[in-house]
Amino acid sequence: MDDLDYSIVHRNLDAKIKIGGLEALDLLLVLIFSAVMSVFFDGGLSGFIFIFLVPLTLLIFLYFIKRNKPEGFLKDFLRFSVSRGFFSASEPMKNQNKLGKPILKGNIPNG
């Protein structure tokens, strides 16, 4: 039981794996994109463009877009841009009465 009291705990266990400044998932997606393009374009100039140059351009684009941004930035940005509606921190919701009980401020019973 004394071993548990003095065990080593490693830091950053939840940190994302980065390869060349990109998250591993982004690099994997670009490699899968390149593999799919190699199925459709097998040789010649168009094959070189779609197998090498387009994924390389996508890697450079992702590197500069995601630089100094938090992890999962593109996923959250895409989710925000696809979702419908208007998001505001200052205006009340239009259908607030459908949410259930209203929030009352200063609900102190009189004496």
CA distances to 11, 21, 41, 100 from 24, in Å: 19, 9, 25, 43
pLDDT for residue 56: 94
Cα separation, 96 vs 103, in Å, equals 10
38's CB contacts (< 8 A; 6+ apart) are 47, 51
Q: Average of pLDDT values for 55-83? A: 86
Q: Is 101 a member of any domain? A: no
What is the C-alpha to C-alpha distance for residues 9 and 17, in angstroms, rounded to an integer?
A: 19
Of 66 and 12, more confident = 66
Whole-model pTM above 0.75?
no
Domain hosting 43: range is 26-71
Count of domains observed in the chain = 1
**pLDDT value of position 6:** 72
Is the residue at 60 inside a domain? yes
